[in-house]
Amino acid sequence: IQGDTPLSSLRLVPLTFRYIRDFCDNIRPEDIAECLITSGTNPLDLTNNEYIQAGAMCLINDHEEVLAICGVHNEQMWLLGTKKIEENKMAFLRYSKELILGDLLKVNKRMYNIAWKPNHLHIKWLKWLGCKVLYENEDFLLFLFEQKESD
């Protein structure tokens, strides 16, 4: 997948201690705030094992810089981004559509979660991916992705 910068391709790889450290050093402040508000958890306080138990994988570029970590646990999907997403915006958008609507939905019949609406980039991304909005109020959006039923 071609990127916006010389960082040309992205790939999903198993999470390692080095990637966790890179992620923690570069996480988007909006993603920290969203975690605190929706779950009461600061992602910077989680242990390596907690990330692994949550099904975490790592999205990296050619220079092995972390753009995001993501996972699906008990049908609950999540993604936490770093500042590198904005530097690789087009590559991230292309890859995330393939990842969410392709690979993850092949393995998971449905995936859902809540999103904090003041995290505008997150909400815009979810809607761009075509999530189904199950419930929405002034603060939160409950979203769902489902496998398409075959005829």
pLDDT number for residue 8: 52
pLDDT of residue 150: 66
State the pLDDT confidence band at 6, using cuts at 50, 70 and 90.
Answer: very low
Query: CB–CB of 31/80 below 8 Å?
Result: yes
Laid out side by side, the sheet with 140-146 consists of: 10-14, 57-61, 66-73, 76-81, 110-116, 140-146, 132-136
CA 67 to chain centre: 9
Nearest partner of 71 among 100, 95, 92, 97, judged by Cα:
100
102-137 pLDDT, tens digit per residue, is: 888 888 999 999 999 999 989 999 999 999 999 999
103-115 burial: b if 16+ Cβ within 10 Å, else e: ebbeebeebbbbb
pLDDT band, residue 96 (cuts 50/70/90): confident
Contact predicate 112/147, CB 8 Å? no
Q: Nearest CA to 77 among 147, 145, 23?
A: 145
pTM: 0.86
138 pLDDT more than 90: yes
